[in-house]
Amino acid sequence: MSEILVTGATGNVGREVVAQLLAAGAAVRALVRDPESADLPDGAKGVSGDLSRPDTLEGALTGSEKVFLIWPFLTTEGASAVLEAIARRARRIVYLSSSGVNEDAERQTDPINQLHADMERLIEKSSLEWTVLRSDTIASNARGWAEQIRTTQVVRGPDIAATAVIHERDVAAVAVRALTDDGHAGLTHVLTGPQVLSRADQVRTIGEAIGRATRFEKVPLQVAREQMLADGRPPALVEALLASAEARRESNLITSTVEEITGATARTFRSWAEEYVDDFR
């Protein structure tokens, strides 16, 4: 049986993709820097490799006909070499992109969406059979608020326009179908949750799940910048995140793609919050 290589396998979405592929009976390879220390779901084979070093991917790709790609960098530097390495071994790639990408725009409004747009173009030009998953805000991003909620019940940060937040398990479920079923080649699937939520909505919902009064407090971008840098985040990442927060437009887009592809309705953010209450208590 050919194996499916999953990048970002120890992250929130990638780990779900690994787990759901295994549940579907697929043979899974998880690309990690150190297979010995990686905490992977039982049944996954950890293989050593680093997307920043395309020369390390040959062994990881041996026997893998399909690849789930999460690109973890802020530019496409090195991406062409990675895609060439993948194309030498695999035939299908599923790429996790952003619903904020405007394919009609010559330039995107912020660097993160620009990165995804640039990656999409490179993938489309490759010899691979591709599928793009443009995901809306992923619910697991809210886990970054856990310490603030546990200690003060107040989340302070830059505000971002409301979007239809999607459970990472639903993103993974669509990815699994795109990796294992036919009929997804050359398609771009836009994935959203069932409700448009602001950051304040999300914080309040987490509070309701844990039984505490929580609230979101918007802070100026400069204050957020200073705090993020003090937390040790790389300056380039901080600037990209803040530019995205400032430029993101309000979106009322809700798609039925999750249900159409998986047969199950998209999970609500409330269900996500109830699932992860222990992280916030």
Q: Are 130 and 124 in contact (CB under 8 A)?
A: yes
| Model pTM score | 0.93
Q: Are 134 and 188 in contact (CB under 8 A)?
A: yes
Q: How many helices (H) and strands (E) does the chain have?
A: 12, 11
Q: Are 189 and 178 in contact (CB under 8 A)?
A: yes
Relative to beta strand 154-157, strand 64-69 is unpaired
**How far, in whole angstroms, is CA 116 from its chain's centroid?**
11
CB atoms within 10 A of CB 63: 16
Alpha-carbon distance of 220 to 115, in angstroms, equals 25
Residue 140: per-residue pLDDT: 97
CB atoms within 10 A of CB 25: 8
Residue 1: per-residue pLDDT: 58
Alpha-carbon distance of 7 to 265, in angstroms, equals 26
pLDDT-flagged residues of the chain (< 70): 1
Helix (H) or strand (E) holding 274: helix 269-275
Given this structure, which CATH class describes domain 3-135+168-191+254-262? alpha beta
Task: Identify the sign of the CA torsion 17, 133, 92, 9.
Answer: negative
Q: Are 181 and 4 in contact (CB under 8 A)?
A: no
Q: Are 184 and 178 in contact (CB under 8 A)?
A: yes
